[in-house]
């Protein structure tokens, strides 16, 4: 376990400063987050449907959780 005085040398000192864990705003976003997680697990295990693979593929360029959610949600 890393103590409070120890520093991780592989990341900048301010790497986690100001980061807030994204929280779904409503039940639809919560359901979408669960679907995203399920799709990512299915892709990793090789059992994903074509739709899941497509949606997970669209998330590759996203930088934030909100961007990933929007990419996963898109219908095109």
| pLDDT, position 11 | 64
For the entire predicted model, the pTM comes to: 0.68
What does the pLDDT look like over 17-76, one tens digit per residue? 666 667 888 999 999 999 999 999 999 999 999 999 999 999 998 988 889 999 999 865
Q: What is the DSSP string of 7-56?
A: --TTS-TTTTTT------SSHHHHHHHHHHHHHHHHHHHT---HHHHHHH
């Amino acid at each position: 376990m890393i103590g409070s005085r120890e520093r991780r040398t592989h990341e900048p000192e301010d790497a986690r400063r100001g980061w807030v864990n994204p929280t779904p705003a409503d039940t639809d976003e919560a359901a979408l987050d669960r679907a995203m997680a399920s799709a990512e697990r299915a892709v990793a295990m090789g059992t994903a449907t074509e739709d899941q693979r497509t949606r997970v593929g669209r998330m590759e360029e996203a930088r934030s959780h909100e961007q990933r959610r929007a990419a996963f949600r898109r219908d095109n």
